[in-house]
Amino acid sequence: MASLRDRILGPPVPKDELAEHAPRYRKPMLFFGVAALLLVVSLFLPYWILKLQAPQFPDGLTVSAYVNRLEGDVEILEGLNHYVGMPSFEHGAVLERSVSIIAIIVLAGLLLAAFFIHSRWVVLLALPALLFPLAFLADLQFWLWRYGHSLDPRAPLANAVGEFTPPIFGPAKIAQFHTLALPGPGLILAFIASVLVGFGLYHHRKAYKPLLDRILAEEHANP
């Protein structure tokens, strides 16, 4: 009967089986490994880009949101937010920004740890990376809504603008500003990683389930 360790980690692949079907067992590792690499690379790239156009800014303004910071015309936009009555960017997503780098590195580490899991429990290691891009977008939408609905009524232009919810992606108009929100290359890499994780899970099942079924059948035949 399989031990608890084997039930969690899954059965070891016999050497002859591995030699005969090496590509079958390498595919999950390849997909998980590349996905882990893309997640780490995404840390150095913006996840979300906001472009703004207005008559007083003929060259436009651009803000790039990384997982832990904002770059670009942040100070100018902060000044505009003051007149509209929006909170400072410093007060938004504080927890998320403080743990984002470590969290993504952990996601990549879990995918590498999945190399050693030959059972269905691999899903527990891969699922966080699979869902991460959607979780990022959900959190981003929450903060966009919160900023647009937290205007200080004492601000000079708060009443003129009114409450609003900027879209995650696409064009929008806020007062005299025309905005365009775009996915950044970091987010695109995270979504590609998510797709690769899905392929990795598919090939993991394709490789290890027949092996596990055969071992269980042998155990039932020879109790």
Exposed, middle or buried, 149 (CB in 10 Å: 0-12/13-18/19+)? exposed
- pLDDT tens by residue, 98-137: 999 999 999 999 999 999 998 889 999 999 999 999 999 9
- 36 with 112: CB under 8 angstroms? yes
Task: Outline where DSSP puts E strands in the chain.
Answer: 48-54, 57-65, 70-72, 170-174, 177-183
- pLDDT tens by residue, 80-95: 877 778 888 888 899 9
Domain locations in the chain?
44-221
Contacts of 94 by beta carbon, 8 Å cutoff, 6+ apart: none
Say what the pTM is: 0.89
